[in-house]
Amino acid sequence: MFRLFGLTGGVASGKSSVAACFRRHGLDVIDADALARELVVPGSEALGEIVALFGAEVLGPTGELDRARVGTLTFADADKRRRLNAILHPRIGLETVRRAAALEARGKRLACYEAALIVENGLADAFRPLVVVALPEPLQLARLMARSGLGEAEARRRIAAQRPLADKVAVADYVIDNSGTPAELEAEAARVLGEIRARFDPRPPAGPAPDRAA
């Protein structure tokens, strides 16, 4: 039986780093953020709806979506964030189902769905076991500011726009602590993946694969 388990966390918590580790160990990962990027290419229906919502100011010079601009607008306005999610999330869901079915048709037994809002959208039980990547909020704030070049006030607003990490940890099956070094995160991610494989796909894995750019 095919199993699609969940991977989530807060902004700048390190879930993408964990997903990269899973890929290096031969696991297929369906990335909700990557799907969102594909769905808003110039000329797409979703992009047209987003422009209707926000105006042409969210378009870059060649007609592509300016995601940074959209992020600034939506993190400052809960209603616009909700309306943006209503445009994207159903489409992401349908594409996730399609890709999961394709993996199952290829004989895969296990894959991961990486998304920031699994808990917020009430989908924790749909993607069991749920893996949550967590770290203390002061460290999360510092990493978000360093990664995105945001000021402290804006970084705090973005963290506050998501469910507190403590709430996500409370419904997790596995919690990966990302308060240490990258090597420690890699080791913990590999350990958790090994436990999940032992439960749902005990066949010997192909072994770590070279990290490739998406």
Q: Shortest CA distance to 170 belongs to which of 123, 112, 115, 130?
A: 130
Residue with tokens 């048709």: 105
Q: What is the mean predicted confidence (pLDDT) over 72-81?
A: 85
pLDDT of residue 208: 53
Domain ranges, ordered by start, for the chain: 3-200
Question: Quick check: 151 pLDDT over 70?
Answer: yes
Number of residues that make up the chain: 214
Kindly state the average pLDDT of the residues 96-113: 97
Which of 63, 82, 66 is closest to 74 using CA atoms? 82
Lowest mean pLDDT, pick from 96-105, 142-151, 185-194: 142-151
Query: Binning pLDDT at 50, 70 and 90, where does residue 169 land?
Result: very high
Tell the burial category of 75 from Cβ atoms under 10 Å away from its Cβ (0-12, 13-18, 19+): buried
Query: How confident is the model at residue 207, as a pLDDT?
Result: 53
Helix, coil or strand: residue 102: helix
Measure the CA dihedral 106/112/113/114, to 10°.
-140
* Helices and strands of the chain, counted as H and E runs: 9, 5
Q: Which pLDDT value is given to residue 212? A: 45
Helices 45-54, 78-105: axis angle to 10 degrees equals: 170
Q: How far apart are CA 22 and CA 194, in angstroms?
A: 10
CA 21/CA 131 separation, integer angstroms? 13
The pLDDT confidence band at residue 19, using thresholds 50, 70 and 90, is very high
**Is the confidence at residue 132, as pLDDT, over 90?**
yes
The reported pLDDT for the residue numbered 108 is 96
Which element (helix H / strand E) includes 8? strand 3-9
Q: What is the mean pLDDT of residues 91-117?
A: 97
Peptide bond into 205 cis (omega under 30): no
What is the per-residue pLDDT for 104? 97
pLDDT grade, residue 71 (50/70/90)?
A: confident
The DSSP-derived string for 187-204 is HHHHHHHHHHHHHH--SP
The correct answer on CATH 3.40.640.10 for the domain covering 3-200 is: no
Q: Is the pLDDT of residue 59 over 70?
A: yes
Q: Is the pLDDT of residue 187 over 80?
A: yes
pLDDT at 30 over 80: yes
* Neighbour count for residue 39 (Cβ, 10 Å): 19
Q: Tokens in use for 30? A: 């369906």
